[in-house]
Chain A
Amino acid sequence: MPKTKSKRQQQIEAVALYPVDWLEERSGLIGGLRYFLFRKVPAETNWFHTLGSATLTAFIVQAVTGVILAMYYKPSAELNPETGKPIAYESIETITNDLTLGWLVRGMHRWGASVFIILLFLHMGRVFLFGAYKYPRELNWLVGAVLLLMAMGEGLTGYLLPWDQTSYWATVVAININANAPIAGPFLGDFLRGGQEIGSETLTRFYSLHMLVIPGGLAGLIALHLYLVVRLGITPPPWTKAAGGYEAQPNGGRPARTGLVNPSPRGNGNGGRERRES
Chain B
Amino acid sequence: MASKEQREQFKLYKEDVERRGKQFYPYAMFHDTIMSFVVVSVIAALAAVWYFTAEETAGEAGVLGPRYAEPADPATTSFVPRPDWYFYFLFYLLRIFKWPESVILGTVGIPTILMMLLFALPFLDRRRERRIVRRPVAVVVALMVIASMGILTYKGATAEEPSATSGEALLVGNDMPTDDEQVVAGADLFAKVGCLNCHAYGSQGADGPGPDVSEVGDQGKGEEYWVQWIRNPQSLKPGTSMPAFPNLTDEQLQNLAVFLEASKSGGGGG
B9 interface residue per 8 A CB criterion: yes
Are B36's CB and A57's CB within 8 A? yes
A163 interface residue per 8 A CB criterion: yes
B16 interface residue per 8 A CB criterion: yes
CB distance from B181 to the nearest CB of A (A): 30
Given known A57-B40, A239-B131, A242-B13, contact A180–B121 (CB-CB < 8 A): no
Residue of B nearest to A56 (CB): B36
Residue of A nearest to B30 (CB): A50
Are B72's CB and A89's CB within 8 A? yes
CA distance A151 to B140 in the complex (A): 27
- Residues on B with C-beta less than 8 A from A107 are 44, 46-48, 50-51
Are B82's CB and A185's CB within 8 A? no
Interface size class of B (residues with CB under 8 A): 35 or more
- Residues on A with C-beta less than 8 A from B126 are 134-135
Q: What are 11 A-B contacts with C-beta separation under 8 Å?
A: A43-B22, A53-B32, A85-B71, A93-B68, A96-B51, A107-B50, A110-B50, A111-B46, A164-B58, A239-B132, A249-B12
Judged by DSSP, the binding face of A is helix
Contact partner of A104 (CB less than 8 A), chosen from B51, B69, B118, is: B51
Are B122's CB and A141's CB within 8 A? yes
CA distance A40 to B56 in the complex (A): 52
20 further contact pairs, Cβ within 8 A, besides A41-B28, A42-B17 = A39-B24, A40-B24, A41-B17, A41-B24, A43-B22, A50-B35, A89-B72, A97-B67, A108-B47, A114-B46, A129-B139, A131-B138, A133-B125, A135-B10, A165-B72, A179-B239, A182-B108, A197-B74, A244-B134, A245-B129
Are B130's CB and A176's CB within 8 A? no
Given known A53-B36, A131-B130, contact A40–B17 (CB-CB < 8 A): yes
CA distance A155 to B87 in the complex (A): 9
Contact partner of B21 (CB less than 8 A), chosen from A40, A61, A113, A155, is: A40
B113 interface residue per 8 A CB criterion: no
Q: Which of A1-9, A167-175, A217-225, A258-266 contacts B (4 or more CB under 8 A)?
A: A167-175
B80 interface residue per 8 A CB criterion: yes
- Residues on A with C-beta less than 8 A from B146 are 125
CB distance from A141 to the nearest CB of B (A): 5
Contact partner of B13 (CB less than 8 A), chosen from A117, A156, A233, is: A233
Contact partner of B39 (CB less than 8 A), chosen from A119, A138, A244, is: A119
